[in-house]
Structure 1
Amino acid sequence: MEIANRELDGVLYLALHLAKQGLPTLFGERMVHEYIFRLYQGRPIVYFDQEQNFDINQRILNEGGLVFNLNSEGQNLDKHPGYLELFAKVSPTFTAMFVRGEKQRKHLAATFPEDHRDRVIATGHPSFDMLDSRFNAYHEDSDIVARHGRDYIQINTQFVAFNHKMGTENYLKMIAKLDEWKDLYSDEAFLKQTELRAEFEEAVAAEFLVMAREVAFAFPDRHVIVRPHPMEDRSYYEDALGGVPNLFIESDGPVRSWLSSASVLVHHSCTTGVEALLMGRNVIRFDPVESLVEKNMQSGAGMRAGTVDEVCELIRSGWMSSQERDRQIEKMKPYMANCGGALAAPVIAEYVSQKAAGGETWLPERLDLWERAKCWRKYLSKLLRARQPGRVGKKVRYALEKFPRLPSEQVRSRVARLRELEEGLPEIELEELGLNVFLIKPADSSCPPKR
């Protein structure tokens, strides 16, 4: 599995359930592809696909492997016809496709060849398993509590179409160069829709700046945390909101560590609104501009406020009724199969195990000294290039933030905490095979062999 840092917790949880079924998991950044397609070419694998690349998937199938699509990006990949067409085109190379919910399953399956429709399965994504109440203690960060207390007001922004850290035009051009995305990202209707969204987000973002400043003034004894989306340009908020003593721009660390000790979250149509709702936080949906684009599922999370005064009043009230919370979660279930107590990871692991039954287990080895040196040289080169001004520096900084240096001690600590919080997760062996590439395998060598 290739993963970005923000997906790590869900992938570790899935890897533990795969280990419970006797399956080892290789995960990490782009170097995972090096293992699969160069160092261990020709060996059968279970491949968790996110790129929707027909040729790569077909190669894996031809070599006796299995391909499972598990896309981490958002709730709304089935909204635009271009996305549906993309998945339909690659669908013959999916052993199965695990999607967020029943709504998404129906839209996607309808576009697939008839003999492939039952391969689309509504399981939810393992990342959202981590919102179950059993994991509340897992997310809490004592450093955050020490700096900001437990009554801070968190404001999350998600205005990527307007405020992308690479520049929206540069980002679209980069994605359009990828074979699997080029048709969609060169489609005039899609680009026009993106332009309209950017204009709408710019108007909403301007209102969020005003709201954040006014909330900080209205609650001088509490910290106000503005947390930009990981793909947003943080300087947009720093330039506009600097100088307010109780207002902080924070983009470091997992978002759930911040949500776990916040007293309230304010958002517009961000996935964190859903996450905060499921984690039991008070949630406010600030909706100051008449929508020019189709609303998504996330825009229904929380108590609606159309003005800054209404935001402040909801913060003062300090509560969201359990009936309203339950009603909103119930409405989300068709879009998120693993909310309200259901879990995705054990379902996915059992399905994969059944499909892989009878296959041969093989384990990749640690990179040799030369290969490890090449990885470090590449990483250090990125650190240097990230300091460059202009578009090149922005692009490299974006890549480093998506795949930061991940010490093995941090991965081991997270695995240990997960096993403490859920009975029945197996003992595992964790090995760092190279820079940012890890192998989890069952500690019990007597586990039944699987592919």
Structure 2
Amino acid sequence: MIQKNIILLPIEIKSREFNAKLYFASQAIRRGYEVWIGFAKYFHENMPLFPRGILIENDVGKGMGSILPVARRLGFAVTAWDEEALVVKNDDFYVDERVPYSHIKECYRFFTRGEGDRASLLRRYPDLDGHLIPAGNPRIDILAPEYRAIHQIQDIDVGRRIILVNSRFSHSNPYHMDRQSFRDGLLRRSNLTGKALDFKVGYMDHTDRLYESFHAMVERLPDAFPDHQIVIRPHPSESPDPWDAMAARHSNVMVSKSHTATAWSMVADATIHNGCTTAIEAALLGCNIVAYCPVRSDLYDVRLPNQVSVQTEEVEQLISVVRGMSRPGAAEMQANSAAARKRLEGLIGPAMGGSANATAIVLDVLQGVTAWPDRSAKDMLFSVKYRLDYWCKRRKASQANGEGLDAAALLDSYALEKFAGVDAGEAQAALRIFGAADADVADLGNQWLRITTPTGAGH
């Protein structure tokens, strides 16, 4: 039976999702929910261990084809938003690449970034109108001025002014294999054909050229800014090796895996990027954002983050722009934030903050749920068989190597790049900033936490 008072929030990339989902939890517990939050891969491997509550997945992409239908048939009330939908190449290709029709049909509701991606989905799948809710993402909600403390670094002391470089080139500089092998595998798994396949190949060619130019630009920064600390933050799915090699050659370059990219932006004179989602978040907070655009394409550029940035095309131009910047004070941050919000108005969710923020929209929809999901007798039989098979598998794994399917066994080096672990104290500190200092946080083990009000019910 569905436990409709429980919401499960799996996390794929901690630096991207953790604080926003804690904010979501802080609001959900006020409405009477109990929230479970933690390591996505552990949940996907161990679904029978979890209560059958309302599941909010990170996306409905092609990699979820073995997860969404299983979760629904096991009795979870499946919903999703897409953590990567805030920044897309264009909405029509986004639908081709990341939103299969059958996957949305596994969901009670799919929460879109805004009206743009919703419209593209409806052009392709007109019968999905009732499934699609333009909500935005809680990552935007926590950029409100009252939550600025969540993005501030308290223990940073590099002794120099900071320039942050955000790299988002996981296609061109993949973490765990060479570029060509990654590309071949990605295209094979995508199942794209025709114009959609041509677009994907063209986009990857474009980002390869952009990455090479971007890397060459970053190599100029240490000498151009000898009194600054250059902090490089590669995407968690990107190899740190080229950036580590650069840091080894320069005393004023470091590659950071600590803190969020947004937190580094808050203490930097400038953040340099191209097409990076963090640029949107940092711009909305009022930071100085510079886009380096040495290779342009009307077809392939990821435009939205660049639109909230000072755009540069030549290295010398970028250096000149950054030399004119210093870490903004409160008044400048307020002005920068207002300008960014104006540029993004109507593009992310139906509102930018206020009572109609993404979290409120999603929770309003979830509280309207009655009988859900509608499972057939075949689904019930699947659930029984799946659970029996799972417990047999778990018993065999436990006999073979002790912990078997536990989180520690799933956190290989690549997984640790994306999910560095959570603890109750860390969650409590964030919840205090979000006005939920009275929340109870229980460590459930295996990198999962349970968050409730002191009485286990909302106020």
TM-score, shorter chain, exceeding 0.5: yes
* 1:241-390 equivalences in 2 (<5 Å): 242-291=248-297, 293-296=299-302, 297-318=304-325, 326=338, 328-337=340-349, 340-342=352-354, 343-355=357-369, 378-381=406-409
Please tell me whether residue 107 in structure 1 is matched to residue 129 in structure 2: no
Normalising by structure 1, report the TM-score: 0.79
Q: Alignment length, in residue pairs?
A: 411
Distance 1:54 1:207, change over 3 A: closer
Q: Deviations over 1:57-102 (max 9, x none)?
A: 4565566653212111233283417637843223332221111111
Check whether the contact 1:21–1:350 (CA below 8 A) recurs between aligned residues: no
For the residue of structure 2 that corresponds to 1:265, the secondary structure is strand
Distance 1:81 1:280, change over 3 A: closer
CA distance in 1, matches of 2:71, 2:252: 53
Letter in 2 for 1:197: Y
* 1:168-183 equivalences in 2 (<5 Å): 168-171=179-182, 182=189
Check whether the contact 2:158–2:229 (CA below 8 A) recurs between aligned residues: no
For the residue of structure 1 that corresponds to 2:346, the secondary structure is coil
Please tell me whether residue 443 in structure 1 is matched to residue 454 in structure 2: yes
Distance 1:289 1:148, change over 3 A: farther
Offset, 1:329: 3.3
CA distance in 2, matches of 1:218, 1:171: 34
Q: Which runs of 5+ in 2 are unaligned?
A: 1-8, 374-396
Please tell me whether residue 13 in structure 1 is matched to residue 23 in structure 2: yes
Distance 1:382 1:173, change over 3 A: farther
Distance 1:148 1:11, change over 3 A: farther
CA distance in 1, matches of 2:335, 2:425: 42
Distance 1:55 1:18, change over 3 A: same
Residue 43 of structure 2 aligns with which residue? 32
CA distance in 2, matches of 1:441, 1:174: 42
CA distance in 1, matches of 2:456, 2:32: 9
Letter in 2 for 1:317: G
Offset, 1:28: 1.1
Q: Deviations over 1:394-438 (max 9, x none)?
A: xx421222222323322222223322xxxxx47322111121011
Please tell me whether residue 211 in structure 1 is matched to residue 217 in structure 2: yes
For the residue of structure 2 that corresponds to 1:295, the secondary structure is coil
Residue 141 of structure 1 aligns with which residue? 153
Distance 1:185 1:161, change over 3 A: farther
Distance 1:261 1:357, change over 3 A: farther
Letter in 2 for 1:216: P
For the residue of structure 1 that corresponds to 2:231, the secondary structure is strand
CA distance in 1, matches of 2:258, 2:200: 27
Check whether the contact 1:132–1:339 (CA below 8 A) recurs between aligned residues: no
Offset, 1:217: 1.9
Please tell me whether residue 409 in structure 1 is matched to residue 425 in structure 2: yes
Residue 220 of structure 1 aligns with which residue? 226
CA distance in 2, matches of 1:352, 1:107: 24
CA distance in 2, matches of 1:128, 1:300: 17
Check whether the contact 1:70–1:97 (CA below 8 A) recurs between aligned residues: yes
Residue 169 of structure 2 aligns with which residue? 159
Residue 124 of structure 1 aligns with which residue? 136
Distance 1:34 1:440, change over 3 A: farther
Percent of aligned positions that are identical: 19
For the residue of structure 1 that corresponds to 2:368, the secondary structure is helix
Check whether the contact 1:101–1:337 (CA below 8 A) recurs between aligned residues: yes
Q: Deviations over 1:247-298 (max 9, x none)?
A: 2222333212211211211111111221221110111111112337422222
Residue 69 of structure 1 aligns with which residue? 80
Q: Which runs of 5+ in 1 are unaligned?
A: 360-369, 384-395, 420-424
When the two chains are superposed, the root-mean-square deviation of aligned CA atoms in Å is 3.5
CA distance in 1, matches of 2:110, 2:402: 34
